[in-house]
């Protein structure tokens, strides 16, 4: 009776593919975890910026700030706002 078996080289190639897939899936998982952490950090910075914006609006009113030199002009809403 003939044994149904692939060659050692073929098995080695399949195992190499499987190992590569496992390593890449692990890297994707690590990258997704890092992405998640970065998105939380970004949300925190956005929240801090929003609070600071409110502080500035309390102090100066609605203004447009020139980020080059810190000067500002009063924000005048347009009619469609």
Residue 81 has pLDDT above 70, yes or no: no
Question: Does residue 57 or residue 78 have the better pLDDT?
Answer: 57
Q: What is the model's pLDDT at position 62?
A: 94
2 phi, psi to nearest 5 deg: -85, 135
Cα 58 → chain centroid: 32
Residue 4 has pLDDT above 60, yes or no: yes
**Average pLDDT rounded to a whole number, residues 77-81:** 71
Here the tokens at position 38 are 């970065």
The 10s digit of each residue's pLDDT in 46-75 is 999 999 999 999 999 999 999 999 999 998
Q: What is the mean pLDDT of the chain?
A: 94
């Amino acid at each position: 009776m003939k044994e149904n078996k692939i060659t050692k080289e073929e098995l080695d190639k399949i195992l190499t593919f499987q190992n590569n897939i496992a390593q890449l899936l692990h890297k994707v998982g690590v990258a997704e975890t890092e992405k998640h952490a970065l998105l939380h950090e970004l949300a925190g910075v956005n929240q801090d910026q929003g609070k600071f914006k409110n502080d500035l609006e309390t102090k100066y009113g609605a203004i447009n700030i020139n980020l080059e030199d810190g000067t500002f002009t009063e924000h005048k809403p347009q009619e469609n706002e």
